[in-house]
Structure 1
């Protein structure tokens, strides 16, 4: 892994530095490098080097002794964003200057994917302010402490001093974020009233907590105590500085946001969909196009969702009848009866939550050893389960995945939300672990990071329909392989798929059909049987992330359709391992390009 890091990033930087005036330096500085791959990798590297937080997250410079970026935070100013859009136009022009006839097949594909992203960036620039940078789900107010806790490593006094520097500089970054938020207010893009209520509650709780209990303080204390390179006296001195920096810089930064949003409340309304914003209907159509990588209309997605909800509910009801449950009162009543059984839940205690994490790890370790029959390509990076930080779990999703560090210093992580014990029935744990971990996000994302010969930008391409479609497909695959042969585990799987089908209905309902927040909550609650706390969290997520929730089911349905297409065409020549290689070995791509891969696989297999 370290060898690959030097090859990708560190080694390239060192060569350019040492061989000034050489071919490598020319490739770095030329308007149009000779090699196409040099150009696309160079542009990604330049963007990374302009983002100290990205460099910290990637974790490759530390392995060659470079750590100064860990004292800095990203530039979040409007001027920096303007600069990026200008830069993207230049990159687009240069990409088109490379003649397809002179490119390898792999480079032609990379060019096509890059142009897909750049074309979308150009077309959607008009909607760049159609979002809520600070909301109950994400934003600087919870992203900053999460980043410091999860990404900023402290193995020396110098690392701790960099940590202190970032505590100082957060006030400036908060002011930069406020600049963009105020511009959105001028344009009439104001978050719904509940969003403002949620973020004010979150931020007030953050500043009201004693500094010693603040995650920025406690995280630094733990990291230093775990290090063998920082003496007890040094730790005390550094923690005293951290306490002062939190009081002097961090708390005032949060207070500036608190004051702003408190004043903004009077302008907020209870209308939640994008339809209420200037050009909101066009902005929503753009979001759907980006997240699904299709041209599906909101009405088409809504109708598909309704049909899938009915189909999946019928499958669940069939199993419940076989298990002796009364379904005469309808789907919602039957699911509520199932969910009401105490035997399906862990104790509502620290011990119960700790056992959940242990059991998740057992589930992942079990399936990891049983995949050879259907996979050839597998990630080298490890996988671990951890709890979503308690300070943000109340408004966080049920789970999420964090990619491993490139240098192997941090494994892939499946973060589980343990706030509401009733949101984690035992029969739902397997499918959630398969989705977020193995063979879901961990396989797809970690494999993409480890692929040889892939341009850097394709290791992190943001094609949500592919990424989330693969994770949802992985739940289905695990069931096919017998890892959910218990009837209740299968209900858990079907509920998870139903959940994604319902998303098609409620996302379009909110942003296209003008459903109020409560109507969407009621629909999801009555059609999924999910815990009320999860339903509210999910609906509020869709409101601040329009279109994203539709990508899961759209992507899964496409992957399954392509698999069936290959099976039908190839007959006994079809090998599921080959199909998975085709899907995974090129990183995340738009769904139409994925279909081209599968079509080529079919043609090549038939020709042999």
Structure 2
């Protein structure tokens, strides 16, 4: 009996000890569980802070918000005065502090990539308003038309609701342009001339067609009257800004005191790091471009020597290889659309490109996302021959436009020069670049990415780099049946990408003049006079952006090679493309990190 009692007591004690051990486990969980909970809490805090950050961003930049399809702020137009610029800096400081308070080591790899983009954006915002100060010398920054056009032409709401938002927004237009004129101090000449051109184009948006739309609408009579009054004030404000700029141009032309549009080495390197973000310096990319230019000339020489007897059977080839290449390119360039049919030729090629991409299993294409080819609106003209105007992540169902400059309005001489540049061969490459599977396709994929941050804080080098990569990828896949003529023209087109980097750096940092720039483009890159003149103008209007094509292309090719080596026989080109594009508009180094983590099985959120 006593032994039995002892046994019961021992079992009770053991049970009590076991319960205490269980209680201790409840009170003091394993370290891995604690770390996982901390990570979860940190990632949740990061996501909540991102939401606050984005909402704050759209209040500060309503025009940008509208371009992303976020129409909740459609009524708002920020006046770009001194108080606004101060608040931008406060915003940057506050959110830098808030994001820095998070433990970055506890964030998932996707969150860390988003955090890197946010930090870069906030640093760039501060730099832009404290060091770069383009708001003082670039009058083309001030143009209200694009967001107004989106409100008017995007079917996000009934027309009366959109016109009401348009009307409310117009009430701030006079103050907007007053602040713009006050901010301008010693502008650069190219930017001043672009501002005059594009704001003159903006007047067409606020013209008679809009008056007819308002009068036909079902807005109440008093709302129509207010709208038309604000419309008159807005037109007067835009015209007043144009007049201000014209008078300023006349005054500075007499004194010769324009600001130099060249930004110099220090600002250029700083802007390059913010905008391009590929892990090397601007001068290193410039040196890579010089080397690639020599390689491309060698490939073009080989193709020219092969094709010369076919096109010049009676003529001995010139001894100078650049002259030899130039002669053959001129011969091939004679095959081009008429200036009246240029836009139609672009439209007809789009379905052919889509068919090839699907047939070769290069990418899946969304047939529900139509591409509309249109004439570039007047307020967007003066920068490039062709461009894509795509909806943002908040309005994924909106139309995507392929803008084409109205060259049918050019003189015959100017149009002929441009058409020789965009001949039957290069027009195909242009459409690959801009449409399928270039910009248009990439932006459709970007809108499917779950990360708003990676979309709205998109990286130019990734976006332009993909379009350039698409050109090469299509030809490698057999587009054009490996025609040596098409490949020769492709290399000429590729030289444009390479030359963009060389031209931009030598113009902005080394200070070359127009004659030197034209030599680089016409003699060494075989560009037509009209194209080279247009590129010169573009190079004087922007900084660093022209390097994004070669920078992104180089990085994407290197990434594909790396992924192919890691996967070996399991590498699939279509899967690589779709995986790459699934990460939105992030810089290529960020996408690289995400893709490698996915391969390792560590790509969880």
Q: When the two structures are superposed, what TM-score results if normalisation uses the length of structure 1?
A: 0.78
Give the distance between the partners of 1:110 and 1:379, measured in 2 at CA. 30
| Match status 1:521 vs 2:518 | yes
> Which residues of structure 2 form unaligned runs of 5+?
1-41, 408-414
Q: Specify the alignment match of 1:355 in structure 2.
A: 344
Give the distance between the partners of 2:251 and 2:85, measured in 1 at CA. 26
Q: Deviations over 1:63-83 (max 9, x none)?
A: xxx6xx444423322321221
Q: Deviations over 1:352-395 (max 9, x none)?
A: 13423422433444345436x233586964322222125653x2
1:134/1:364 CA distance change after superposition, 3 Å: farther
* Greater Cα radius of gyration, structure 1 or 2: 2
1:310/1:131 CA distance change after superposition, 3 Å: farther
Residues 22-171 of structure 1 correspond to what in structure 2 (within 5 A)? 35-61=45-71, 69-122=73-126, 126-130=130-134, 134=138, 138-140=140-142, 143-153=143-153, 155-167=158-170, 169-171=172-174
Q: Is the 8 A contact 1:72 1:166 kept in 2?
A: yes
| Match status 1:562 vs 2:559 | yes
Give the distance between the partners of 1:492 and 1:367, measured in 2 at CA. 20
Q: Is the 8 A contact 2:333 2:423 kept in 1?
A: no
Q: Deviations over 1:414-458 (max 9, x none)?
A: 222342352431211222122122222223323222223x2x222
1:446/1:221 CA distance change after superposition, 3 Å: farther
Give the distance between the partners of 1:117 and 1:249, measured in 2 at CA. 32
Give the distance between the partners of 1:354 and 1:223, measured in 2 at CA. 27
SS at match of 2:429: helix
SS at match of 2:539: helix
Q: When the two structures are superposed, what TM-score results if normalisation uses the length of structure 2?
A: 0.78
Q: Deviations over 1:135-155 (max 9, x none)?
A: 6xx533xx4334433453385
SS at match of 2:184: helix
Q: Is the 8 A contact 1:51 1:74 kept in 2?
A: yes
SS at match of 1:528: coil
1:221/1:595 CA distance change after superposition, 3 Å: same
> Which residues of structure 1 form unaligned runs of 5+?
1-31
Count of equivalent residues:
539
Q: Is the 8 A contact 2:132 2:267 kept in 1?
A: no
Give the distance between the partners of 2:148 and 2:324, measured in 1 at CA. 44
* RMSD of aligned Cα (Å): 3.6
1:201/1:100 CA distance change after superposition, 3 Å: closer
Give the distance between the partners of 1:468 and 1:517, measured in 2 at CA. 25
Q: Specify the alignment match of 1:438 in structure 2.
A: 436
Q: Is the 8 A contact 1:385 1:416 kept in 2?
A: yes
SS at match of 1:589: coil
1:389/1:530 CA distance change after superposition, 3 Å: farther
Residues 134-213 of structure 1 correspond to what in structure 2 (within 5 A)? 134=138, 138-140=140-142, 143-153=143-153, 155-167=158-170, 169-182=172-185, 185=186, 190-191=187-188, 193-197=189-193, 199-200=195-196
Q: Deviations over 1:172-230 (max 9, x none)?
A: 21222223222xx3xxxx41x45545555666x659xxx7xx343155268669x8x55
1:498/1:75 CA distance change after superposition, 3 Å: same
SS at match of 1:491: helix
Residues 289-328 of structure 1 correspond to what in structure 2 (within 5 A)? 289-294=273-278, 296-323=280-307, 324-325=310-311, 328=318
Give the distance between the partners of 2:445 and 2:137, measured in 1 at CA. 30
Q: Specify the alignment match of 1:281 in structure 2.
A: 265
Residues 375-454 of structure 1 correspond to what in structure 2 (within 5 A)? 375=363, 381-390=369-378, 393=381, 395-405=382-392, 406-419=394-407, 420=415, 422=419, 423-452=421-450, 454=451
SS at match of 1:344: coil
Q: Is the 8 A contact 2:442 2:581 kept in 1?
A: yes
